[in-house]
Structures are given as C-alpha cells and as structure tokens.
A = this chain, B = another copy of it.
Amino acid sequence: MIEGINKHFENRIRLGIMSLLMVNQRLDFNRMKESLQVTDGNLASHLNGLEREKYIEVRKSFIGKKPNTSYRATSEGVEAFKQHLNALESIINIKNQNERN
C-alpha cells in the first residue's frame, strides 16, 4: 500500500524541488527560492539532501558577472521521483474508485 513512497520525497519542499526539475530541465537557486517561498538556508539544505542521494546535480557558473548555481535532476532522480509519483497516483486512484460508489 505505501511501499512505493520514497522518504526522500515526502517533504513538501523536496516534492517541490523535484517537480520543478521535471518541468525545467535546469533551474537556478533563486528561481527555486521564489517558486517555493522558502528561506535560502532551508532550500540549500534540502538541495543538499537530494544531492547526497544523487537525485540532483549542481552546476556553478556565471551569468555575466554574477555567480549562478543551477540544478538538474539526474536520470536516477527522475526515475526515483517517477516511482514515487506512481505510488502517490495509486493512492489517489483508490480514492477516485471510491468516489464512483
């Protein structure tokens, strides 16, 4: 019933990060911070957690003269996240099935 749930994606901010990285193949720190409405410290630590699991990768570069740190999901991360979403999807389907009665 709940075996497919990946504990690294349970947290809403992590869920948000991964979702953003499904839609944008690459996204930078500040855009994420805006989208998710979190403090930079909090965001950084969740990004760290996902990097530790090799679900995301970091790239540091410059845009013009400004430093820019951007992130993308690894293929491992994409797979793991899809599995997680499938698990959630099947939970939702249980609900919808019930609704038809």
Residues of A whose CB lies within 8 Å of any CB of B are 1-2, 5, 7, 10-13, 15-16, 19-20, 22-23, 35-36, 81-82, 85, 88-89, 91-92, 94-95, 97-98
Contacts and interface: CB of A to CB of B under 8 A. Distances in A.
Given A12-B7, A92-B89, A95-B85, A19 B1 contact: yes
A47 to B, nearest CB: 15
A10 B12 contact: yes
Given A1-B36, A2-B19, 13 more contacts: A1-B16, A2-B12, A2-B16, A2-B36, A15-B91, A19-B91, A19-B95, A22-B94, A22-B95, A22-B98, A82-B95, A88-B92, A92-B92
